[in-house]
Homo-oligomer: A and B are copies of this chain.
């Protein structure tokens, strides 16, 4: 966690805590820099990032203004928040889960239709590495992500891949916890293998069904997490 990121990590809660509405002006750069104990240059780097993520707008000789985050903020803005340690709201979790399902179901269909032999080899390679990781008792989180991304890669759409990759960046910490005790890894690996076979057989329907049931397990984990959280656990 470098200084720039941690500065954003302090800046975002500051904005949220002030309950600023879209259109409201933030304190001046000089004032913010002093308040956070950093130089103006460092502060400006953070603001530049927030600007490209469409969270704020800089008007020369006037000020820094908050934008309508929900409508105009980018997906990367959410990813950055997660990286900085800001937990997703319950609504955001539901939305991310829903969108992930939509994307991955479509991706696996395309993967089954289009996969090249090289794609399949890549998937098999990830699967072999997963087996090794499980046997060694290590955390499967990164291999799990690698498998799903390999599937999306087989769909042959790089833009698609970038979007899905954002979702996996978004939940990396949580995914490590998901595979933390090693209980879920074997089942997940078996489902991945089934997915691989459907893709190898170039059967889009079967692949989509396999992905659907695979995702259901992950989704129920998230939903239980939300219930625990809302109970104040």
A residues sitting closer than 8 Å to B (CB atoms) are 2, 4, 41, 44-46, 48-49, 52-53, 58, 60, 70-80, 91-92, 95-96, 98-99, 102-103, 106, 149, 153, 157-163, 165-166
Complexed CA–CA distance, A103 and B106 (Å): 10
Complexed CA–CA distance, A35 and B80 (Å): 31
Among A52, A70, A74, A76, which residue has the most Cβ atoms of chain B within 10 A? A52
Partner of A159, one of B49, B95, B149, B159: B95
**Residues of chain B with a CB closer than 8 A to A91's CB:** 158
Complexed CA–CA distance, A74 and B53 (Å): 11
Among A106, A159, A160, which residue has the most Cβ atoms of chain B within 10 A? A159
Partner of A76, one of B60, B72, B75, B106: B75
B163/A99 in contact, CB under 8 A: yes
Tell me the minimal C-beta distance from A93 to chain B in angstroms.
10
Partner of A92, one of B73, B80, B158: B158
Complexed CA–CA distance, A103 and B103 (Å): 8
**Residues of chain B with a CB closer than 8 A to A153's CB:** 71
